[in-house]
Amino acid sequence: MKKINVYVLSGFLGSGKTTLLREFISYEKNAGRLPAVLMNELGSVSIDSDAIDKGTPFTEMLDGCICCTIQEKLEAQLQELLFNYSFDTLIIETTGAAHPVEVVDSIMSPLFADRFDFKGIVTIVDALRWKKRADLSPQVLHLLREQIKHASLILLNKVDLINEMESGTFVFEMQQLNAEAKVLLTKHSQINFVELDNLERIENKKYEPSQLNKNLSLQSMVYTFHRPIELEEFEDWLKSMPDTIFRLKGYILFQHSSLPYSFQYSYGMPIYLKEEMKMPLNLVIIGEGLNKDRIRKELGALEK
Ligand SMILES: Nc1nc2c(ncn2[C@@H]2O[C@H](COP(=O)(O)OP(=O)(O)OP(=O)(O)O)[C@@H](O)[C@H]2O)c(=O)[nH]1
């Protein structure tokens, strides 16, 4: 039986993993291969699954964060996929808060290691976040470095938001952390996917997941809107948010429109896209040491 090629997409919250995933799925299909997707999301409601078209085998692990049971859950998901579908490529999008090596350990489980050919970890780095990394807590910075260190291919993404000199410096910094991986400069995670055919697995690098998990206090919450809100008031709220809120995504209904907007926010960049149908008005919020009561109160006040 031909083995299934497995790729792990890693990278911090909002770096561009789902953007890459979408293109990767199309590339595989155009090459005549059937891809399957396993998504591991930090939030307890699904937002990114909209990126996957209906014909693609797909399984999702919600709230699958950095807890000690991640491997068990992942193994169950992998088994479910293998049992229910036949496919040629498996793309695993890890939560931005995950250590990619933990995910790789699950793929290597004796339960099905013979079915998989693990190709490597692709790590996407948000260039703007890297530029401002001094603002991050030591734990988050450590996670970012680990994601870079264990990659077979590194995409320094969002280069439209930095200048050329910064790009050069950052590539050098990535290479200092990981001399074996190739570093590509990308916009919207656009790459020549032939790069992925030539990936070489990088192994035997030390990592200490238990220590990482213990100290990292990333949390997520979901706020469900019941009424439309004012765009301007929402933007004021965004500006008042602490820097430790890293990522927002979901659907919001504004007073000026009868249909909701999909909303994405990472590193100071809000993006609104109008939807064509009604969506559940859930907003996923991810950050370090979230003050959930306060956030609920503030968003609640926008609904009045
Ligand atoms: N300016 C700019 N924005 C980008 C680029 N790539 C992605 N984005 C935007 O960044 C946001 C996050 O992108 P995603 O692909 O959803 O990131 P992700 O890593 O999957 O996010 P999580 O799943 O929450 O960790 C989206 O609004 C993208 O449109 C880029 O190269 N430049």
- 225 with 286: CB under 8 angstroms? no
pLDDT digits (tens, 9 = 90+) for 240-268: 998 888 888 889 999 989 999 999 888 77
Residue-level pLDDT at 64: 47
For the chain, which domains are there? 4-215 (3.40.50.300), 218-302 (3.30.1220.10)
Mutational test site, ligand 1, from 12, 13, 17, 19, max ligand atoms within 8 Å of CB: 19
Residue-level pLDDT at 105: 72
- Atom number of ligand 1 nearest to Cα 249: 24
- Atom number of ligand 1 nearest to Cα 48: 23
Question: Rounded to the nearest whole angstrom, what is the distance from the C-alpha of residue 83 to the centroid of ligand 1?
Answer: 32
Q: Is the CB of 48 inside a 6 Å radius of any atom of ligand 1? A: yes
**pLDDT level of residue 203 (50, 70, 90 thresholds):** low
Question: Rounded to the nearest whole angstrom, what is the distance from the C-alpha of residue 190 to the centroid of ligand 1?
Answer: 12
Q: Kindly indicate whether the ipTM for this predicted assembly is greater than 0.95, answering yes or no.
A: yes
What secondary structure does DSSP assign to 215-253, as a single string? H--EEEEEEE--S-B-HHHHHHHHHHS-TTEEEEEEEE-
Instruction: Report which of residues 108 and 20 the model is more confident about.
Output: 20
Global pTM reads 0.81
Q: Is the CB of 162 inside a 6 Å radius of any atom of ligand 1? A: no
**pLDDT, mean over the chain:** 84
* Average confidence (pLDDT) over 49-67: 61
- 9 with 92: CB under 8 angstroms? yes
Instruction: Report which of residues 112 and 233 the model is more confident about.
Output: 233
* Average confidence (pLDDT) over 122-146: 91
Q: Quick count: other Cβ atoms within 10 Å of Cβ 258?
A: 8
Residue-level pLDDT at 290: 84
